[in-house]
């Protein structure tokens, strides 16, 4: 009996634990229940990629060097694998723009 990756559809060896094409985890027999001829797969919960290092660097650079903060914020805001990263990316962009504006005002008054 052939197995197929639930994520990308690649044909797999019967003893495969991960897809060789996309790297997705393949459910084991404990995670899959078979009822008669109907096979029910239960999704494996994976931790979403939270981009913690980029998030920390984004906030630091947004405060110290706003241009780099904006670049990191754009990177974070365009991540499709983490809603948390998207949210913080937007916050980093806003913070960097506010710091940049305040710096501009201080220089002009100066």
Give 66-77 pLDDT, tens digit per residue. Answer: 999 999 999 999
Mean per-residue pLDDT, 91-98: 96
Q: What is the pLDDT of residues 99-108, one digit of tens each?
A: 999 999 999 9
Q: Any idea of the CA torsion for 10, 14, 17, 18, to the nearest 10 degrees?
A: -10
Residues 6+ apart with CB under 8 A from 47: none
Statement: residue 83 has pLDDT above 80: yes
Model confidence at 35, pLDDT cuts 50, 70, 90, reads very low
| Tokens, residue 3 | 């197995």
Concatenated DSSP letters for 46-94? ------HHHHHHHHHHHHH-HHHHHHHHHHHHT-SS-HHHHHHHHHHHH
Q: How confident is the model at residue 40 (pLDDT cuts 50, 70, 90)?
A: low
């Amino acid at each position: 009996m052939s197995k197929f990756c639930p994520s990308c559809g690649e044909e797999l060896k019967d003893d495969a634990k991960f897809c060789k094409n996309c790297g997705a985890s393949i459910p084991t027999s404990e995670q899959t229940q078979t009822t008669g001829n109907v096979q029910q797969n239960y999704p494996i919960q994976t931790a979403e990629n939270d981009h913690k290092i980029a998030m920390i660097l984004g906030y630091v650079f947004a405060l110290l060097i706003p241009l780099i903060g904006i670049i990191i914020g754009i990177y974070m805001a365009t991540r499709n694998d983490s809603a948390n990263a998207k949210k913080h990316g937007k916050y980093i962009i806003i913070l960097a723009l506010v710091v940049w504006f305040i710096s501009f005002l201080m220089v002009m008054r100066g």
